Amino acid sequence: MGYQVFAGPGTLAAVREGSRFKVHTYHLVREDQQALYGFRSPEELAFFELLLTVTGVGPKVALAIVSSRPVTDLQLAIFQGDEAVLTAVSGVGKRLGARIVLELKEKVAAASAAA
């Protein structure tokens, strides 16, 4: 039995044919579809899930964002209000970049303080 798992280029580059590979997955269940999204680390998965809480961010855009830079860089950009880091990602325009910063800034700050 096999599964199709959507993953970013960094995750896919770490996979070697014929070898075992651990992937942290998010199972998306919608009325019309089911999909698996895979990540190298629990931190990437958690940040992906956090991005999905933002209005207008779906799984494809969230995956593109998580795949664009290390999670710590993305968290810092959001905390500092650096929308340019987000708008550099395909599928993220100025409005969505601003919304991500607005909706996640406090959550990112709280997560950093707890860590």
The tens-digit pLDDT sequence of the chain (115 residues) is 778 889 998 888 888 888 888 899 999 999 998 999 999 999 999 999 999 999 999 999 999 999 999 999 999 999 999 999 999 999 999 999 999 999 999 998 887 766 6
| Domain locations in the chain as residue ranges | 5-114
Q: What 8-state DSSP symbol labels residue 28?
A: E
Q: How far is CA 60 from CA 6, 20, 29, 38, 108, in A?
A: 9, 25, 14, 12, 21
According to CATH, the topology of domain 5-114 is DNA polymerase; domain 1 (1.10.150)
According to DSSP, the residues that pair with 25 across neighbouring strands are: 38
- The answer, as to whether pTM is greater than 0.85, is yes
Q: Is 102 exposed, middle or buried (0-12, 13-18, 19+ CB in 10 A)?
A: middle
**CA gap 53, 41 in Å, rounded:** 19
- pLDDT for 115 equals 62
